[in-house]
């Protein structure tokens, strides 16, 4: 298990980066708020096949932009940890998820060329893991509707696995941490999910969407100093004790958003259309040699 200092430092890092990430600079797009239900698919691609997978998925993504696809996704590529891809699939309810699963069967039956492309993508995978998680509004801050995922260019993901029976301990820890830093840093823009399916241990996921990484260098240097200044010793000790008794493992990784292999709703992309739906380059027009008919004036 990673030490509690690492966990506290990671949470502080999230809170500081978030305040400089630009999320509060303009009104959030309500269509781009974090989903209530999240399907997270982690895929490890065979060595040397990442660019091939990206090209194939881009074909499907652009086709889904034109067609009535059953669901949407944001595609992420890891910058740290195990080299993997992460698809972030948003839903509102389990019923909607079930409808999407049925819809994809019909979709691929109607478009066998895309079904073949999907099969080629599947053949490139070395491993795959799927998690289904529910948003916990009582643990994240600010309110989810104030977080705009359309502005995300990077995503930090903190995965906390707990020992059995210690779910409430994590909830108390993150509430204490959020309350403490609200006093000195204001609202902390992170969103928390509780994993319902896909893991054998109680698991929470903390997501932080970032617009850029320019602030990281200074923050890395300042993290420990600010941590010493701002954490109350009583709260810190309670958090350390919870980590010792409740946490099985903690992992924090950074991902980059790939719009070319994502498929998002039009209203999601509306305020960031240049990033999510860039105009396709115009095909060069064939050269036409002048002729007598081209030089004649119209009557």
Taking residue 135's Cβ as centre, other Cβ atoms within 10 Å add up to 20
What confidence score (pLDDT) does residue 19 get? 46
Looking at the domain assignment, is residue 154 inside a domain?
yes
Looking at the domain assignment, is residue 254 inside a domain?
yes
More confident: 147 or 216: 147
CB 208 within 8 A of CB 225: no
Give the range among 189-198, 226-235, 258-267 with minimum mean pLDDT. 226-235
Number of domain units in the chain: 1
CA angle 157, 173, 251 (to 5 degrees): 25
Looking at the domain assignment, is residue 299 inside a domain?
no
- The owner of tokens 């929470």 is 204
| 193 Cα distance to chain centroid | 12
What confidence score (pLDDT) does residue 18 get? 46
Looking at the domain assignment, is residue 289 inside a domain?
no
Looking at the domain assignment, is residue 129 inside a domain?
yes
CA atoms within 13 A on the CB side of 130: 3
Looking at the domain assignment, is residue 274 inside a domain?
no
More confident: 177 or 159: 159
Q: What are phi and psi of 55, to 5 degrees?
A: -65, -45
Looking at the domain assignment, is residue 275 inside a domain?
no
| Residue 122, domain extent | 4-267
Looking at the domain assignment, is residue 133 inside a domain?
yes
| Average pLDDT of the chain, as a whole number | 80
CB 260 within 8 A of CB 45: no
> What CATH number is attached to the domain comprising 62?
3.30.70.100
- Which ranges of 88-185 does DSSP label H, i.e. alpha helix? 94-110, 112-122, 167-185
Bridge partners (DSSP) listed for residue 135: 193
- The pLDDT tens digits for 32-58 are 999 999 999 999 999 999 999 999 999
Residue-wise DSSP of 7-42: HHHHHHHHHHHHHTSSTTSS---GGGSPPSEEEEEE
């Amino acid at each position: 298990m990673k030490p509690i200092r690492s966990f506290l430092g990671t949470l502080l890092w999230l809170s500081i980066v978030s305040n400089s990430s630009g999320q509060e600079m303009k009104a959030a797009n309500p269509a781009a708020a974090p989903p209530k239900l999240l399907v997270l698919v982690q895929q490890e691609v065979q060595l040397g096949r990442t660019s091939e997978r990206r090209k194939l998925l881009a074909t499907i993504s652009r086709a889904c932009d034109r067609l009535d696809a059953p669901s949407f996704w944001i595609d992420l590529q890891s910058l740290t940890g195990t080299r993997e891809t992460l698809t972030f699939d948003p839903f509102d309810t389990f019923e909607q998820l079930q409808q999407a699963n049925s819809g994809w069967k019909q979709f691929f039956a109607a478009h066998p060329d895309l079904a073949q492309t999907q099969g080629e993508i599947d053949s490139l995978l070395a491993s795959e893991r799927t998690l289904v998680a529910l948003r916990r509004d009582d643990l994240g801050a600010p309110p989810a509707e104030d977080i705009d995922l359309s502005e995300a260019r990077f995503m930090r993901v903190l995965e906390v696995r707990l020992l059995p029976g210690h779910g409430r301990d994590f909830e108390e820890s993150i509430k204490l941490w959020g309350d403490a830093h609200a006093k000195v840093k204001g609202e902390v823009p992170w969103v928390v999910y509780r994993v319902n399916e896909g893991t054998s241990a109680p698991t929470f996921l903390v997501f932080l969407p970032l617009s850029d990484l320019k602030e990281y260098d200074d923050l890395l240097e300042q993290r420990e100093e600010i941590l010493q200044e701002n954490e109350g010793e009583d709260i810190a000790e309670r958090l350390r004790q919870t980590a010792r008794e409740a946490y099985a493992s903690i992992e924090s990784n950074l991902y980059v958003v790939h719009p070319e292999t994502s498929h998002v709703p039009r209203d999601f992309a509306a305020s960031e259309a240049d990033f999510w739906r860039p105009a396709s380059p115009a095909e060069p027009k064939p050269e036409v040699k002048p002729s007598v008919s081209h030089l004649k004036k119209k009557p």
